[in-house]
Amino acid sequence: MQVTLANPRGFCAGVNMAIECLDEAIRIFGSGIYVYHEIVHNRHVVERFTAQGVTFVDRVEDVPPNSILLFSAHGVSPEIRHLAERLQLQTIDATCPLVTKVHMEALKFARDGYHIVLIGHEGHDEVVGTMGEAPESITLVETPEDVDLLPFAPEEPIAFLTQTTLSVSEAQAVIDRLIQRFPDIASPPKEDICYATTNRQEAVRQLSETADVVIVLGSQNSSNSLRLAELGEGRTGRAYLVDSVDELPDGWNEGVERVVVTAGASAPEDVVTDCLDHLKSAHGATVDEITVSEEHVHFPLPRELRVLQSDAGSASHVDGREADRRQTDNTA
């Protein structure tokens, strides 16, 4: 068995920052911390923090007053921020800056009188947060067919935005249909699908050319991992999205000689290492890592956490979205 290990894979800058945020918050406050939604969409990461005493909640109302509440990498709507404020929670915003960028674009387009067509997956945490910025001015679409049903006239001021973790090719098909229907549609100043999503997909696209199967390490609720598995399946006819190697079904390797291994942006590297060790020991695999693109993106911790680092306990809630807070360069 020949294994091609995709690079880049695994943790992106936003996931690294969110995990570092929670680690640091635990160091400062102890483990009785609450997180709104999963810090990142990965079972191993969530289990590790749960074992340390962190509580993940889906309702801000479930957090006791005066507690520390961390907002996950996927971002939240203003309604959730205000609710946390009313409940006197001390908040730390671990939203990925590239998600915040989409929120800011939504706000700007809405203020400028545009109706926004958001391309994304209904119910995803990020989409819920973005739509909450301007609920009256945003319509969600998932497919080109959804675009055909939009009730707007071509001359109306329309703009589009996208979720950060979509399939690049599927999003482009929706954008193409939007441009057909609304030739003057405004677009985000810079691509919304983030560098990490784009790079991981491009690596699988290039490396799976001659592969028999693609293994994606990641969780089923991880949007970018799902997109990698769909891409792998489209390229090779067979792909597995698994949290760890022991979830591969019996017989997965029948007739398989060439395997591509990758990991979603929220999957830790140790699950990749475990997978490779298994493929070597159980299937005599040889492993070649191939780098398709280099990534050098890093996001600093949010300002409110840096303040707390220097003066633990003395800082109160600071809105996490100051324009100067973080780097928002969406390039690799």
Residue numbers at the binding site for ligand SF4 (CB under 6 A): 12-15, 73, 96, 98-99, 164-165, 194, 196-197, 224, 265
Tell which residue, 142, 206, 140, has the closest CA to residue 174. Answer: 142
Closest separation in Å from C-beta 110 to ligand SF4: 21
Contact 98, 330 (CB under 8 A): yes
Angle of helix 43-51 relative to helix 13-29, nearest 10 degrees? 10
The CB-of-192 to ligand SF4 minimum distance in angstroms stands at 9
Residue 41 neighbours by CB distance under 10 Å:
29
Q: What are residue 211's phi and psi, to 5 degrees?
A: -85, 160
- Residue closer to ligand SF4 by CB (options 15, 147) is 15
- Round to whole Å and give the CA distance between 106 and 188: 9
How many of the other CB atoms lie within 10 Å of CB of 170?
Answer: 16
Q: Whose Cβ is closer to ligand SF4: residue 10's or residue 158's?
A: 10
DSSP 3-state of 89: coil
Least distance between ligand SF4 and beta carbon 163 (Å): 9
User: 7 vs 165, which CB is nearer to ligand SF4?
Assistant: 165
Instruction: Give me the sheet containing 2-7, strands edge to edge.
Output: 239-242, 213-217, 258-263, 2-7, 286-291
Of the candidates 105, 126, 230, 304, the residue annotated as catalytic is 126
The residue sitting closest to ligand SF4, measured at its beta carbon, is 14
**Would you give the DSSP letter of residue 8?**
S
| Residue 10: C-alpha distances to residues 31, 179, 288, 330 (Å) | 26, 33, 17, 17
Q: Of 127 and 213, which has the nearer Cβ to ligand SF4?
A: 127
Find the shortest distance in angstroms from Cβ 13 to ligand SF4: 5
Q: Please name the amino acid found at residue 114.
A: Y
Q: Residue 145 catalytic?
A: no
Token digits of residue 152? 């707007």
Of 4 and 222, the one with the shorter C-beta distance to ligand SF4 is 222
Closest distance of CB 69 from ligand SF4, Å: 19
Q: Which residues are catalytic?
A: 126
